[in-house]
Amino acid sequence: GRTQRRQSAPCYGSRALPEPQACGVVPEAWRFDCYPERGVVVTRELCEARNCCFIPASSSPPAPGRNGVPWCFYPPGFPSYSLVSVNATDLGQTGTLVKTVKTYYPKDILTLQLELLYETDNRLRVRITDPSESRFEVPIAVPKATEKASSPAYSVELSNEPFGIIVKRTSTGAVLLNTTVAPLFYCDQFLQLSSSLSSQYIYGLGEHRSSFLHDIHWNTLTMWARDVAPTELTNLYGVHPFYLAMDEGGTGTAHGFFLLNSNAMDVVLQPGPAITWRTIGGILDFYVFLGPDPASVIGQYLEVVGYPAMPVYWALGYHLCRWGYGSSNATWDVVKNMRNYRIPQDVQWNDIDYMDRSLDFTFDPTAFSTLPDMVKDLHSHGQRYVMILDPGISSVQPEGGYWPYDEGLRRGVFINHTDGSTLIGKVWPGLTSFPDFSDDVTHEWWYDNLKRFHDKVPFDGLWIDMNEPSSFVDGSTVGCPDTELENPPYTPGILGGLLRAKTLCASAVQKTSSHYNMHSLYGLLEAKASARALKRMLGKRAFVISRSTFPSQGQYSGHWLGDNRSHWKDMYTSIAGMLTFNLLGVPLVGADVCGFSEQTEEELCVRWTQLGAFYPFTRNHNSIDQKPQDPPAFSPAACSAMKQSLLLRSSLFPLLYTLFHRAHTHGHTVARPLLFEFPKDVRTYGIDRQFLWGKSLMVTPVLDPGVDYVVGYFPQGLWYDYYTVRTHSGQPLHLVSSLSEDGSAGGELFWDDGETGSINTITFTSSLPIASYITVETASFYGVKVEPTRVMVNSHDAAFTYRANQVRLGVRSQRLSVF
Ligand SMILES: *[C@@H]1O[C@H](CO)[C@@H](O)[C@H](O)[C@H]1NC(C)=O
Ligand SMILES: *[C@@H]1O[C@H](CO)[C@@H](O)[C@H](O)[C@H]1NC(C)=O
Ligand SMILES: *[C@@H]1O[C@H](CO)[C@@H](O)[C@H](O)[C@H]1NC(C)=O
Ligand SMILES: *[C@@H]1O[C@H](CO)[C@@H](O)[C@H](O)[C@H]1NC(C)=O
Ligand SMILES: CC(=O)N[C@H]1CO[C@H](CO)[C@@H](O)[C@@H]1O
């Protein structure tokens, strides 16, 4: 074995193997994987060829090296970079990193430039680049600081040998980042940075199906946009290399970390607690956000990637959809039935069955011949219409020609192979080409297509699906060339094992860069093109819902949680998905109510509608070949329960709209984990069966079959039961004010015309919200312990009622709205 091992040991044969004692002292929780390659049974020979320690772990992992204690790990003193010089700059420091020993991956970059940018008092940015050659950087606009933060909440220590960065919170000394825990790698296609974590409480890192609080027990989260029904331990539709973590010690302080990188990557969480970022391209460019509370961390992150767009008011409503209505008349019948039952429905959608032969920008001239009439009818009832679009553009000439493809070719909008020919994949219409949304020419062409279709079917918003981008053939119809981009020296734990699995060739050519670098940005850039086009065409806020997402997505679209199943478990995990996307700056989010694939059951659908009434975005959506699951499809009792929850949602629109406005202007969350409001209460850290809207409305849904009660956790404070305090709402508004223990209450309301923001009134007072042209006729105050003898509104006596058993004071006055 030994001879063989020496022969296979690349690059640094002269270095001695680690001493067994040195290996033995590394505790299991702190073993950083030296052999992360999938599908390889790591033997002592393979491991020692990398000069790493080999110790089979006490508990046998499912597959050595994956999701278990690594058997092959870096010994102390494994070669890494040294920091050889540091100089001060206007914004912080710059330094040079060098290393002399190559790693076992090709193309080590032996000299690196380090930049520390003290951008604001709560935001540190660190960039590690190749000073001799420019490398790919993610093309999203981030703020540029002009002067160094004057009193940063963080301090940075640099370790020279081996090089490492230690970031501490100045006020507490808490160590937020310590990258000396494992060697730094910086090869052309393998960049790896590890750090200790401040605590085991870590959130974010979408898009994955998991609990809200991540499991740090050898949990590898792979990121690479992928079309697959949400499954644990696989990369899903979106990519978000951002985490929020609580500081050590349960003090309630939190910090954030964002790696601005779009290449395929693994993020490994291990019980140290520690994290490893392992990406196969771009640069290391990361931010640390100091909070100090969880909500401020999100605000600071969103200052970098952008605050979410203000949604159009009707986006808050109830959306109904399914794949397989089969005809416009059948779709229309559902709408009419909803009206008959007086169930609030704001938006009707269609999936791909509206299209003629699955072609974008067409509708089936037979089955959907009445689509334009249906849309006009929706509009005349104050309802809206949204339909699906896929990025794949049919490349075979349907009879009569196909303008989107012909014109796209003429304008050169499609993604090419490296030889310059158009890359052809396969989606619903058959063979398709893929628009390159990284190019402005493509945005113009997309607009023209939308405009031409809108002239026929006056839709109100867009649902952009399949934009990972998804293709039914791997790479292209003619495969992919055998290059370093297609077969990198290391491939993260991508479903299918290859970058091209169910998508385009990594080597494919886009205007900005290769698909290798641009892949996970596809959904973002399509959303950007779509939102721009809608705004320009309709002169209103754009409504776009996208499947694939990337940081800064919230500026252009919302997101639905993909092809979830009609299972109780899927309903439960949708809460984690919703909360995570609120952390990621995409607050307009929800899962398919009642579940998409497989047959739903009445009880599940009722419970899901009750939960879904509190998703920031509520759409009931169903797969083809499943029985209908719109509310009237169920028994009168079930239908009525669903209707009640949707009416409740409608009554809360003013609150929801105000929360969206706070998200848009301050980077707040809309649906919010309990820990954001109770960060000192460690018991809230793992809660994902309950959530808040804003800071005051707590939702504790039923998530299990056969039960008619739930057990929830109430953090300390005064809580009121919404169902007994509520009367009714609608306009004129009814104001509900729940007093704190000290007898005070605060609130605010944002109100405008709902579409353009042209009428824009926001007022807040310490006790009552007011908007000058809204009438608040009645107000209820809960928690009033003593019956008042007199109630004054603006120095005038007002009529009031008092209910001692409810500690409720009711006030009626025309003057409530004119303070
Ligand atoms: C720092 O300054 C010294 C002296 O001017 C120079 O030799 C060195 O290259 C500089 N280092 C960096 C990282 O800029
Ligand atoms: C950073 O990590 C190194 C390696 O584990 C450790 O020796 C050092 O004490 C840590 N530094 C701090 C400030 O925690
Ligand atoms: C749809 O309904 C309209 C109006 O009731 C009717 O005229 C038309 O024939 C129907 N179309 C189809 C395809 O069934
Ligand atoms: C693909 O090739 C065509 C034809 O040469 C060209 O017009 C187009 O701009 C290319 N697309 C990209 C993304 O480079
Ligand atoms: C209900 C369920 O499984 N929810 C998952 C649906 O898929 C998204 C990913 O697209 C997850 O984030 C949700 O947790």
Write the pLDDT tens digit of every residue in 683-739: 999 999 999 999 989 999 999 999 999 999 999 988 888 887 654 444 856 677 777
Cis bond upstream, residue 162 (ω within 30) = yes
Report in angstroms the alpha-carbon separations of 251 from 77, 155, 172, 679: 34, 19, 10, 8
Point out the ligand 2 atom lying closest to the alpha carbon of residue 166.
13
- Higher pLDDT among residues 812 and 516, named by residue: 516
**pLDDT tens readout for residues 617-664:** 999 999 999 999 999 999 999 999 999 999 999 999 999 999 999 999
Q: Any idea which ligand is nearest the CA of 373?
A: 3
Does the Cβ of 377 fall within 6 Å of ligand 3? no
- Quick one: 82-305 is in which CATH superfamily? glycosyl hydrolase (family 31) (2.60.40.1760)
CA 300 to centroid of ligand 5, rounded, Å: 26
Position 752 scores a pLDDT of 82
- Does residue 671 contact residue 579 with C-beta atoms inside 8 Å? yes
Ligand 1 pocket (Cβ < 6 Å) reads: 85, 87, 94-96
CA dist., res. 177 & res. 657, Å (int)? 37
DSSP reduced 3-state for 16 = coil
What is the number of the ligand closest to the CA of 409? 4
Specify the DSSP element, H or E, that contains 28: none
- In tens, the pLDDT along 161-210 reads 999 999 999 999 999 999 999 999 999 999 999 999 999 999 999 999 99
Q: What is the pLDDT of residues 473-496, one digit of tens each?
A: 999 999 999 999 999 999 999 999
Q: What is the pLDDT of residues 3-27, one digit of tens each?
A: 333 333 333 434 567 877 789 999 9
Rounded CA-CA distance 711/137 in Å is 48
**Arithmetic mean of pLDDT, 49-78:** 80
Selected from 3.20.20.220, 4.10.110.10, 1.10.150.120, 2.40.160.10, the CATH number assigned to the domain covering 19-77 reads 4.10.110.10
Other Cβ atoms closer than 10 A to 622: 29
> What stretches of 673-732 adopt beta strand conformation (E)?
691-693, 697-699
- Per domain, the residue ranges of the chain are 19-77, 82-305, 315-560, 718-819
Distance CA 512, CA 789 (A): 71
Structure-block tokens of residue 695: 């800071």
pLDDT in tens, 221-276: 999 999 998 888 899 999 999 999 999 988 999 999 999 999 999 999 999 999 99
Residue identifier of the C-alpha nearest atom 6 of ligand 4: 412
pLDDT given at position 15: 52
Q: Which pLDDT score is estimated for 733? A: 65
Give the architecture-level CATH label for domain 718-819: Sandwich (2.60)
**Letter for the amino acid at 190?**
F
Give the number of the atom of ligand 1 that is nearest the alpha carbon of residue 96. 13
- Residue 347 and residue 381 in contact, taking contact as beta carbons nearer than 8 Å: no
| Best mutation site among 328, 335, 354, 370 for ligand 3 pocket (most ligand atoms within 8 Å of CB) | 370
411 Cα distance to chain centroid: 33
Q: How many CB atoms lie within 10 A of CB 29?
A: 14
Cβ 252 vs Cβ 293: under 8 Å: yes
CATH number corresponding to 315-560 = 3.20.20.80
Q: Is the pLDDT of residue 435 over 60?
A: yes
Q: Whole-number mean pLDDT of the chain?
A: 92
**Segment 326-355, tens digit of pLDDT:** 999 999 999 999 999 999 999 999 999 999
Query: What pLDDT score does 632 carry?
Result: 98
Q: How far apart are CA 128 and CA 111, in angstroms?
A: 10
Taking each helix axis from N to C end, the angle separating 602-612 and 568-583, rounded to the nearest 10 degrees, works out to 20
Domains 19-77 and 315-560 share a fold: no
Is 759's pLDDT higher than 70? no
423, 392 Cβ separation under 8 angstroms = no
Instruction: Please compute the mean of the pLDDT values over residues 459-463 and round it to a whole number.
Output: 98
Which ligand minimizes its atom distance to the CA of 591?
5
Q: Which residues are catalytic?
A: 465, 468
191 in helix, strand or coil?
strand
Please return the burial class of 396, using the count of CB atoms within 10 Å of its CB with bins 0-12, 13-18 and 19+. Answer: exposed
Ligand 1 centroid distance, CA of 610 (Å): 63
- Separation in Å, CA 26 to CA 33, 58, 182, 674, 714: 12, 14, 11, 37, 42
pTM of the predicted model, to two decimals?
Answer: 0.93
